[in-house]
Structure 1
Amino acid sequence: MHILIVDDEVLARQRLIKLLAKLGYDVVSEAENGEQALSAVESLDPDIVFMDVKMPGVDGVEAARSIAELDEPPAIIFCTAYDEYALQAIDAQAVGYIVKPVHEEQLSEILQKAQRVNKLQRAVLSGSIDTTIKRKHISAKTRKGIELIAIEDIYCFIADQKYVTVMHCNGETLIDDTLKELENELASGFLRVHRNALISIDCIVGLERTNAGHFEVVLKNTDFRPMVSRRHLSTVKSVVSSL
């Protein structure tokens, strides 16, 4: 589990880091305010974010609401010296709320709760929900009218802010679908490898590590190599090894 700590107080961050290390968790980064938190979530793709509430600039509640709107948000746990923000925490879709000073037993319990798989996730993982691909084409509105892109011709979908680009054998096309919608519908044939990338399993050739230490997926018939985030690396390795 990769964890991001957001708090404007250095001592508070250090105390939480020590407690998490004692419990065997990896803190990937720290942030001092909501703006830094949003940037860190985008670049580091943590699994869990411990978020203070009262911070200068963008506060914790506002930052948590923005994070919750992402296609694949991390779990948010509010960690604050104040106990009157519980309702706002629920509104921001936080999975937990703890009041400082944090204690080891309390921290362990809330981390276990954050990792708990819910009923819908269990259904998808067990295969009891039908995840077969329903459509044969992706439609896109272009200057030529409606363009149909065959699913079998698609290498990957790449999200950039509000836009999603389909990379296929005939080029690149912008579409209106969100990456989350595509992931839900095309789950049996496409694999999420990063917050911003969904790739065709049939197009996977292998996995390579860059000089910078990042992993990239090698795809058939294209030089484009989507980066794999740490959150998805174990799943991607498992899929690659089974090919």
Structure 2
Amino acid sequence: MRVLIVDDEPLARERLKRLVEETPDGQVIGLAQNGVEAVEQVESVRPDVVLMDIRMPEMDGLQAAAKLVELKHPPAVIFCTAYDEYAVEAFDVQALGYLVKPVNKDDLAVALKRASRLNKAQLSALGKRNGEDEEPVARSHISARTHRGLELIPIEEIYYFRADQKYVTVLHRHGEVLIDETLKELEKELGERFYRIHRNCLVSVAQLESMERSGQGQHKVKVRGLEESLDVSRRHVSGLRKLMQSL
């Protein structure tokens, strides 16, 4: 994985360089000290990932990222900053990750691994901006704030969304996170990829395996990759059965 490191502090650049080179497939192909240099180098060396500080002279990281997402084939951007108050702005410029300094080696490895799973089409989708009259593009990732910082979970790795009081649990291939969204919003956006099996649960259509009935008459659905079976409410049994017959 080809990585460009952008930071106005020489020691920070060298530390990130060392951490990247300690990851299995990390290759540092450039160093920049501000956003202007970052944009110039991205256009010349075409990195897969840009590790970028936010507070920098001439052009800060947020401004640089906003320019990068406009490219035909934008790199994945992971912010590495000493400040955690820019998370919302990071999402506005389609950042793939948000790590707070001092960056932990394991957290960096996880972020780079996640970036490596993105192909060019997905990166372009992350960077796509819509005009006011255009239809919104469904997200390719779900964002969550965790102890690692800002994480983006690929939609195709999610098993289900389950509502629990004011939060929604997202169970995915590598664990689970909490997000501050509603099932109704998620269903409206991701309705073709997730099916409501209960008032509190949306399941990935791609992961549906089978539906069964327990000895107590409760319908349950099996999801590929999960040991647990999920309850299906009575009102959704017929629709789910028709859906699974069409798969």
Q: Place the TM-score, normalised by the shorter chain, in its bin.
A: 0.3 to 0.5
**TM-score normalised by structure 2 residue count:** 0.47
Higher relative contact order (CA 8 A, sep 6+): 1
